[in-house]
Structure 1
Amino acid sequence: MTEVKTYTAFGLHILSEITLPELVQTNQHVSRDIVIRENDLRSLWHELAQQNEYFHIQQDFILFHVPNVAIFQMKNGNEILVSPMSEADPDQVRLYILGTCMGAILLQRKILPLHGSAIMIDNKAYAIVGKSGAGKSTLASAFLNRGYYLLSDDVIPVTLTEHNTPIVTPAYPQQKLWLESLNQFGMKSDGYRPIIDRETKFAIPVSTQFADQPVQLAGVIELVKTDNNEIEFKPIRNLERLQTLFTHTYRKFFVTPAGLMEWHFDMTAKMVNKIEMYQLRRPEARFTAHELTDLILSTVSKEEKAL
């Protein structure tokens, strides 16, 4: 008989047939928001998917196939079905459950998933967003090294209060860092688990510096790599703010086929006047995480004094 465990992540109670050691385990008797179970999805995939297609998206479910790993289905914001391949590595299956699957579930529940890392400064959340490889997790780790707390790494869940104040709910207590970043922070990779297929990227538990309560989102910082040697930090204004939030929505290509474009526009339009937004351009050629941290903290401090 499959052992079922209950976890909490993204502000949701998760009942899972698949063991998820990255998450915080909770009491088995709590009410569940999401069920994760194994199911054979091969026939459904062959019936619906087009040739050379990896995603099939409808308004009530999203189906996707990762060759040699699994077929996944997310339904109605409350169910994740997983059909693992016989040769699949369990670490890799979990990587997709906690990433793409949870991003889809959040969208289905009309919770905005931003792609980035969220840290807490002075009891407020700041989301560091950007393309893959921009340095989001590394910058967040620089904040942790100074005693600040992590709210999320990779998928940032954002909701609105009845007064349209954006709130970040904590995801789960783990970061993903490249070996180069570990070396810069003086951390040894020996004690950390490599993320599958990325032998130089590691899963870093952050349980002692994990903020486990929702907090107000005060700012979004778009991190961009450049060929210049200088750091540039400038406000994002007007309609660029909406575009930035859409660009950095996790798995944004789900939004239109899932029938969520109107909701996404409405939610982000309500958010943009409640938060500060900046673009932070950093040189690719050198390690700048400590300089960027100083710059962000200085800017945040000036904002607080101006209020």
Structure 2
Amino acid sequence: MFNVPDVAVFRIEEGVSIHVSPVPECDPGKIRLYVLGTCMGILLLQRGILPLHGSAVAIDGKAYAIVGHSGAGKSTLATVLLNMGFQLLSDDVIPLVLAHDHTAIIFPSYPQQKLWQDSMDKLGMNGDGCQPLFDREQKFAVPVQSRFRHEPMPLGGVFELVCDESGPGIQAVEGLERFHTLLRHTFRRSVMEQMGLMEWHFGMLVRFVNQLPVHRIVRPSSAFTALDLGSLLLQTIRKEKIS
């Protein structure tokens, strides 16, 4: 249960229901942001599903997670891949589970992205049919129904997107740093202790990192390199398949 001043009180119960007690005359769009974000992340945790903060894209029969901090450019890079002909599974919150055979599986969420106006301009998107998010006039909800993957897919790898002027570039993440990468980008991990999930979280991350390739993509903040990074990501995936 949590309270967002001037918005609503939210209660998430047993992984099956989200209750909302809104402040009078609060814009439904703002409530929707929290329902699809924090509330959904907590609901997934209650179900024993690991939520990662990022976008997931279906590429050549597998799903690939692009994780990173807010503003890193995850959705922009995912859009570049969608423009190459691939499909989106999730934007913002990635639901990740272990199947009975211990295969990591990503489940689809809903056919929508959130993109900044600046990214849309640089990608040549005109914004028709896109609605601005509440309180964030320069960020839009972008429907992607025709480029959405509705079926769960095995996770092929994780790409962490970071900003650094040494980029653009890509490098493999090895050893214990792979664990810390997934730890950093678990969605709403600040609630783990309160929910009594610290031990569960540790165990889940150990299982995932033992079977997944992890890479770090570096992009400079002073230049728009999303098109180059999309090509680098795709080359890395296909090179690993050959090897």
Q: TM-score of the superposition, structure 2-length normalised?
A: 0.98
SS at match of 2:195: coil
**CA distance, structure 2, for counterparts of residue 232 and residue 182 of structure 1:** 23
**CA distance, structure 2, for counterparts of residue 216 and residue 172 of structure 1:** 18
Equivalent residues in 2 for 1:120-131, closer than 5 Å: 120-131=58-69
The aligned residue for residue 232 of structure 1 is 169
Deviations 1:102-129 (A, max 9, x none): 0000001110000000001101010000
**CA distance, structure 2, for counterparts of residue 239 and residue 190 of structure 1:** 45
Q: Would the aligned equivalents of 1:114 and 1:129 in 2 still touch at CA under 8 Å?
A: yes
The aligned residue for residue 90 of structure 2 is 152
**How far apart are residue 163 of structure 1 and its match?**
2.0
Matched to 1:233, the amino acid is I
**How far apart are residue 227 of structure 1 and its match?**
3.0
188-197 or 136-145, which deviates more = 188-197
The aligned residue for residue 250 of structure 1 is 187
**How far apart are residue 301 of structure 1 and its match?**
0.7
Matched to 2:192, the amino acid is V
Determine if the alignment matches structure 1 residue 94 to structure 2 residue 41. Answer: no
**CA distance, structure 2, for counterparts of residue 191 and residue 263 of structure 1:** 41
Query: Which consecutive residues of structure 1, in runs of 5 or more, have no partner in the other structure?
Result: 1-62
SS at match of 2:78: helix
Q: Would the aligned equivalents of 2:169 and 2:229 in 1 still touch at CA under 8 Å?
A: no
SS at match of 1:74: strand
Matched to 2:5, the amino acid is P
Q: Would the aligned equivalents of 1:223 and 1:281 in 2 still touch at CA under 8 Å?
A: yes
The aligned residue for residue 7 of structure 1 is none
Choose from 271, 274, 279 the match for 2:211: 274
**CA distance, structure 1, for counterparts of residue 216 and residue 230 of structure 2:** 14
Q: Would the aligned equivalents of 1:218 and 1:274 in 2 still touch at CA under 8 Å?
A: no
Q: Would the aligned equivalents of 2:115 and 2:140 in 1 still touch at CA under 8 Å?
A: yes
**CA distance, structure 2, for counterparts of residue 200 and residue 221 of structure 1:** 26
The aligned residue for residue 301 of structure 1 is 238
Q: Would the aligned equivalents of 1:173 and 1:205 in 2 still touch at CA under 8 Å?
A: yes
Deviations 1:65-108 (A, max 9, x none): 11111010111111211000003100111110011000000001
Aligned residues, how many? 243
Matched to 1:86, the amino acid is P
Identity over aligned pairs, percent: 52
The aligned residue for residue 114 of structure 1 is 52
**Structure number having the greater helix percentage:** 2
**How far apart are residue 286 of structure 1 and its match?**
0.7
Structure 1 runs of 4+ aligned residues shifted over 4 Å read none
SS at match of 1:144: helix
**How far apart are residue 190 of structure 1 and its match?**
4.7
**CA distance, structure 1, for counterparts of residue 208 and residue 189 of structure 2:** 17
**CA distance, structure 2, for counterparts of residue 235 and residue 260 of structure 1:** 29
**CA distance, structure 2, for counterparts of residue 290 and residue 246 of structure 1:** 28
SS at match of 2:69: coil
Query: Which consecutive residues of structure 2, in runs of 5 or more, have no partner in the other structure?
Result: none
Equivalent residues in 2 for 1:127-206, closer than 5 Å: 127-206=65-144
Matched to 1:114, the amino acid is L
The aligned residue for residue 84 of structure 1 is 22
